[in-house]
Amino acid sequence: MTTLRRRTFIVGGLAGASAGVLVPRLANAISYPFTLGVASGEPAADGFVIWTRLAPNPLNADGLGGMPNTNTAVDWQVATDERFTSIARTGTFTTTQASAHSVHVTLTGLEPGREYWYRFRTGGHISPVGRALTAPAVGTSPELSMLFASCSHYEEGYFTAYRRMAEEHPDLILHLGDYIYEGAATTTKVREFAPAAEISTLANYRVRHAQYKTDPDLQAAHATAPWLVVWDDHEVENNYANLIRNDTNPAGDFKARRAAAYKAYYEHMPLRSAQAPTAENMLLHRRVRWGSLATFHMLDTRQYRTDQACGDGSKVCPEADNPSRTLTGTSQETWLIDGLRQKLGTWDFLGQQVFFAQRLNSADGARSMDAWDGYTANRTRIQNAWDTNGNKGTVVLTGDVHRSWAANLMQNYGTQNRIIGTELVTTSITSGGDGNAADNSLNPTLNPHVKYFKNLRGYVRTRTTSTQMNVDFRAVDKVTVRDYPVKTVGSYIVEATNPGLQAP
């Protein structure tokens, strides 16, 4: 692998040396800068975003990846074939140190519903090749192969599940949060975080993101298909709410910390410039249409939320039902309800972080205050909006809890009256370490609408047509040992006009 790459560098080097001189070029001044791989995201019918970041020494403590403080020209190519014999677009992006030499190119004017391949070149070095897809045209509803994942703790396991996702060759991948974890390094797990301290500065967030992106399994998953990403808490700090921090370690201004975390997140994700942060604010909720088949409503349940009620945790807490409490913030709630009422496609997928259905943890009614159960009025308003609008094909896609779950969403959880939607919860990629196939935490007495639970690491595979969605919970037996095979541990069908889980 290394030998092949080096040969490619030499060939690329000759080409690079003779390339234009309009913008500063590195002319072999740096070693291989594409150590973080490539990525695509935000598919639309006419384009997508392609991403990379130049980082010859990705773990340098200053967070600048070993790049000189020189604006650097990066050539890019998009082709309709994997061998780049048919080039659809080319261009040059100029990186800056202010953006940690990240590259975000937004492609437009491409054909809908097809595959493309892309790569980058600078200083005589050529990047790996990535595969992207444009969304199908509105008015068409071709089958969609989509995977979703969350919670990738670098220290707690190898990213085998990301590798297996790449091997599935999907059209689209959703990451629903906890892409990185912010904690300090430990020496008791399978590998160790860089930097060693809990991250709270821009340099440290950049190094942590860079460390993640050096993982070859994660790189493979990014290179295989476009991603839609939304964060949860650990991209900043465990269980933070809006500008309210979880604890005071490390000390410092939390607003500045959130700004640093959001900036580093943007720099490392294939997002559009509309998502670029301004100080501690970043507009992450957005709609992505997949033709007339589906609309993805990607939600941000951290940035605008009311603080967790009753001190967080699993609680019996009447305050959780206070109608003034919000997980989405008022503006995002209005935007979501407006989008649901438009019913732009057969399916409405809510890509979001925390458990949506009611889930009683004990007979006394204790519920998780960090999830929608801590913001029940907000949940009811959203559910009622899609229900009264007749959106039968509404499916909530969830991460966060490090276990696979599936549930029917009920118009009234107390009386169990009427199924109005479906929730699919992906387990973690690694968080929590190796699972336990024998674990059964389903409690059908307390939660009759919750139908599935599995404590193994993995992801969810979906295949969606205009009539039904086939769902497979995919899992690996271990993540503390490399290279386990993936298997299907549970399957459901969801029908577009009949909400809820069906046996396959």
Asked if residue 400 binds Ca ion (CB under 5 A), the reply is yes
The nearer residue to Ca ion, 241 or 494, going by C-beta atoms, is: 241
The nearer residue to Ca ion, 35 or 152, going by C-beta atoms, is: 152
Piece in contact with Fe ion (CB under 5 A), picked from 64-72, 258-266, 320-328, 428-436: 428-436
Tally of CB atoms within 10 A around 165? 28
Asked if residue 178 binds Fe ion (CB under 5 A), the reply is yes
Shortest approach of Ca ion to residue 353 CB, angstroms?
Answer: 6
Site string for Ca ion, 166-195 (x = CB under 5 A): ------------x-----------------
Q: Using the 8-state DSSP alphabet, how is residue 484 labeled?
A: P
Site string for Ca ion, 304-333 (x = CB under 5 A): ------------------------------
Q: Torsion over CA of 55, 57, 58 and 64, rounded to 10 degrees?
A: -70
3-state secondary structure at position 223: helix
Binds Ca ion by CB under 5 A, chosen from 75, 215, 217, 233: 233
The closest alpha carbon to 146, from 156, 136, 137, 138, belongs to: 136
Asked if residue 425 binds Fe ion (CB under 5 A), the reply is no
Size of the site for Fe ion (CB under 5 A): 3
Shortest approach of Fe ion to residue 111 CB, angstroms?
Answer: 38
Please state whether 333 falls in left (phi above 0), alpha (psi between -120 and 50) or beta: alpha
User: Which of Fe ion, Ca ion, none binds 300 (CB below 5-8 Å, type-dependent)?
Assistant: none
Piece in contact with Fe ion (CB under 5 A), picked from 34-42, 176-184, 374-382, 474-482: 176-184
Asked if residue 370 binds Ca ion (CB under 5 A), the reply is no
Shortest approach of Ca ion to residue 238 CB, angstroms?
Answer: 7
* Binding to Fe ion in span 431-470, by CB under 5 A: 431
> Residues in the chain, how many?
504
Helix (H) or strand (E) holding 130: strand 130-133
The nearer residue to Ca ion, 182 or 472, going by C-beta atoms, is: 182
The closest alpha carbon to 410, from 448, 445, 453, 372, belongs to: 448
Q: Using the 8-state DSSP alphabet, how is residue 483 labeled?
A: T
The nearer residue to Ca ion, 178 or 333, going by C-beta atoms, is: 178
The nearer residue to Fe ion, 34 or 181, going by C-beta atoms, is: 181
- What whole-number distance in Å separates Cα of residue 411 and Cα of residue 377? 13
Contacts of 207 (CB under 8 A, 6+ apart): 58, 59, 60, 61, 63, 194, 195, 199
3-state secondary structure at position 494: strand
The nearer residue to Ca ion, 153 or 289, going by C-beta atoms, is: 153
Asked if residue 156 binds Ca ion (CB under 5 A), the reply is no
Helix (H) or strand (E) holding 384: helix 376-388
- What whole-number distance in Å separates Cα of residue 476 and Cα of residue 469? 23
User: What token pair was written down for 400?
Assistant: 């966060």
Shortest approach of Ca ion to residue 402 CB, angstroms?
Answer: 9
Binds Fe ion by CB under 5 A, chosen from 88, 107, 151, 425: 151
3-state secondary structure at position 199: coil
- What whole-number distance in Å separates Cα of residue 394 and Cα of residue 343? 10
Piece in contact with Fe ion (CB under 5 A), picked from 143-151, 184-192, 339-347, 456-464: 143-151
Shortest approach of Fe ion to residue 41 CB, angstroms?
Answer: 21
Shortest approach of Fe ion to residue 178 CB, angstroms?
Answer: 3
Binds Ca ion by CB under 5 A, chosen from 232, 237, 300, 387: 232
The nearer residue to Ca ion, 376 or 398, going by C-beta atoms, is: 398
- Cβ burial of 474 (10 Å; 0-12, 13-18, 19+) is buried
Piece in contact with Ca ion (CB under 5 A), picked from 2-10, 130-138, 395-403, 466-474: 395-403
- Cis check: omega of the bond before 250, within 30 degrees of 0: yes
Q: Give backbone dihedrals phi and psi of 237, rounded to 5 degrees, phi first.
A: -160, 145
Say if residues 353 and 372 touch (Cβ distance below 8 Å): no
The nearer residue to Ca ion, 215 or 233, going by C-beta atoms, is: 233
Task: Please list the helix, strand and coil fractions of the chain in percent, rounded to the nearest 5, in that order.
Answer: 20, 30, 50
Piece in contact with Fe ion (CB under 5 A), picked from 7-15, 46-54, 188-196, 423-431: 423-431
User: Which of Ca ion, Fe ion, none binds 233 (CB below 5-8 Å, type-dependent)?
Assistant: Ca ion
Q: Give backbone dihedrals phi and psi of 386, rounded to 5 degrees, phi first.
A: -75, -30
User: Which of Ca ion, Fe ion, none binds 431 (CB below 5-8 Å, type-dependent)?
Assistant: Fe ion
The nearer residue to Ca ion, 151 or 165, going by C-beta atoms, is: 151
By CB under 5 A, name the binding residues for Ca ion.
178, 232-233, 400
Binding stretches for Fe ion (CB under 5 A) = 151, 178, 431
